[in-house]
Amino acid sequence: MNPTMTALPPSFQWGVATSAYQIEGAAFEDGRTASIWDTFCRKPGAVHNGDHGDVACDHYHRMPQDVALIKSLGVDAYRFSVSWPRVQPGGRGPANPKGLAFYDRLVDELLAQGIDPWVTLYHWDLPQELEDAGGWPVRDTAYRFADYAALVFERLQDRVATFTTLNEPWCSAWLGYQVGVHAPGRRSFDDAIAAVHHLLLGHGLAMRRMRGMETRPHTYGITLNLGTADPASDSALDREAARRADGMGTRIYLDPLRYGRYPSDIVAELATPFPVRDGDLEIISTPFEVLGVNFYFGQDFAGTDEAGNTHDPDGNPIVRAIFPDTPRTAMNWPITPARFTRLLVRLHRDYPGLPMVITENGSAFADNPDISGFVADDARTAYLASHLAAVADARAQGADVRGYFAWSLLDNFEWAEGYAKRFGIVHVDYETQARTPKQSALWYRDTIARTREA
């Protein structure tokens, strides 16, 4: 028997994940207003092929069938995100009844099928009006997020047990405000640093608001995208680069969340201070019950550029990511399951007492559907199997990992890559919106079933 199946206990929680903008479509229906992604997609050259989420997988109109599909996989839970501009158009003021009604129906449908709904409150779709008012670099956005969280919580808390605040704040801050390859497409280091702080503050404020309103206990959490940062060699320069990469990728999120402080080595080196006010770090470090871990790959880091320089023209030390020499996915991302194990064991060691759930893990490959739409995706199946085995290994080494959500249920809008990259375990024909479970979905279903029997 596959060692994964024996090593993961019957209590392990199995799920599939999606996010609102990537699958819902109905971008301007029932009162929804634009998010930063609707705007970004219209920017020439920003998104592959000029793709956008106007229709996406049309999940907004096909939700009951999609829930039936989820049910057919035998999972315990479904992780989805709520669209902020659907629920609170413009990002301020009262809830949009039609927007909330959609998530009401979704939750009811999931519960009727015996599937546990896992809510993510923010998966990157900031209302455009809030970006126009300054976006995440502006402190007020954190307070707006807490208000929005309260609207969703008030409506769903009676039926939803798990609320996670943010998905991958590193992407929102770094890719959105520093590198500019994600919405809103800004390129400012100062903005990115301010965004990190206000995202974390928004998380803490939202959690406090929700806890203050709860009529029964809930599980709260946040999802981070985390990797491993290894030095490319044993040189002092490369070790320093790996330390900096780990600091900017992992510790600037988890240290304030768990210990109420930003990492001192990073703070000492940053030209731009985090815009911390009195009391912020207490709010940010409000205890929570589950850390969502999204893992795709680990990297090595060098302290020199390809020409051997140690500093860039602005005088900043070089931190150059190098992909390990392994097979790659269609995203050109390296496949590094052993590093996944190492990450989970390290998180357990450095941030003890925090149960973890893998809220995303998966891979894009160039799929070739047969005439019936079926995809024999050996590579994606192997990726899933090796990463589940990595989770089992981490658990065997003591890491408290309680569940796993495959990314993604459906092929969907892969942000700057548009529809060109397919992460789904279910194939979507975007012409007809037909859904066809791939081999990986059938393997996942059978693996879950066998684990339960073990």
Q: Which of 252, 260, 156, 262 is nearest to 204 (CA)?
A: 260
Q: How far is the CB of 175 from ligand IFM (least distance, A)?
A: 10
Q: Which of 168, 214, 240, 282 is catalytic?
A: 168
CA distance 348 to 118: 23
Q: Which of 109, 131, 240, 360 is catalytic?
A: 360
Q: For residues 390 and 338, is the Cβ–Cβ distance under 8 A?
A: yes
Q: Which C-beta is closer to ligand IFM: that of 17 or that of 151?
A: 17
Q: Which C-beta is closer to ligand IFM: that of 174 or that of 274?
A: 174
Q: Which C-beta is closer to ligand IFM: that of 124 or that of 262?
A: 124
Q: For residues 166 and 206, is the Cβ–Cβ distance under 8 A?
A: no
Q: How many residues bind ligand IFM (CB under 6 A)?
A: 8
Q: How far is the CB of 225 from ligand IFM (least distance, A)?
A: 6
Q: Which C-beta is closer to ligand IFM: that of 69 or that of 410?
A: 410
Say whether residue 37 binds ligand IFM (CB under 6 A): no
Q: How far is the CB of 361 from ligand IFM (least distance, A)?
A: 9
CA distance 419 to 430: 9
For Cα atoms 314, 319, 321, give the angle at the middle one, nearest 5 degrees: 135
Residues whose CB is less than 8 angstroms from the CB of residue 453 and which lie 6 or more positions away in sequence, other chains included: none
CA distances from 301 to 175, 244, 287 (A): 19, 9, 32
Q: How far is the CB of 58 from ligand IFM (least distance, A)?
A: 18
- The footprint of ligand IFM on residues 196-255 (CB under 6 A) is none
Q: For residues 404 and 388, is the Cβ–Cβ distance under 8 A?
A: yes
* 109 counts as catalytic: no
Q: Which C-beta is closer to ligand IFM: that of 21 or that of 274?
A: 21
Q: How many residues does the chain have?
A: 454
Q: Which of 168, 230, 240, 255 touches ligand IFM by CB under 6 A? A: 168
Q: For residues 408 and 361, is the Cβ–Cβ distance under 8 A?
A: no
Q: Which C-beta is closer to ligand IFM: that of 33 or that of 294?
A: 294
Say whether residue 24 binds ligand IFM (CB under 6 A): no
Around Cβ 285, how many Cβ atoms within 10 Å? 17
Say whether residue 165 binds ligand IFM (CB under 6 A): no
CA distance 229 to 242: 5
Say whether residue 411 binds ligand IFM (CB under 6 A): no
Q: Which of 407, 419, 443, 444 touches ligand IFM by CB under 6 A? A: 407
Longest dimension (CA), the chain: 62
- The footprint of ligand IFM on residues 422-451 (CB under 6 A) is 423
Contact map string, positions 39 to 68, toward ligand IFM, x by CB under 6 A: ------------------------------
Angle between helices 439-453 and 378-396 (to 10 degrees): 30
Beta bridge partners of 311: 317
**Coil, strand, or helix at residue 437?**
strand
Say whether residue 360 binds ligand IFM (CB under 6 A): yes
If you count DSSP H runs as helices and E runs as strands, how many of each does the chain have, helices first? 17, 13
Q: How far is the CB of 19 from ligand IFM (least distance, A)?
A: 5
Q: Which of 414, 424, 444, 451 touches ligand IFM by CB under 6 A? A: 414
Q: Which of 310, 19, 320 is nearest to 171 (CA)?
A: 19
* 417 counts as catalytic: no
**Coil, strand, or helix at residue 150?**
helix
Q: How far is the CB of 48 from ligand IFM (least distance, A)?
A: 13
Say whether residue 294 binds ligand IFM (CB under 6 A): yes
Q: Where are any strands of DSSP class E within 207-249?
A: 219-225, 229-231
Q: How far is the CB of 217 from ligand IFM (least distance, A)?
A: 28
Say whether residue 19 binds ligand IFM (CB under 6 A): yes
Q: Which C-beta is closer to ligand IFM: that of 246 or that of 360?
A: 360
Name the residues that contact ligand IFM, by CB under 6 A.
19, 22, 168, 294, 360, 407, 414, 423
Active site residues: 168, 360
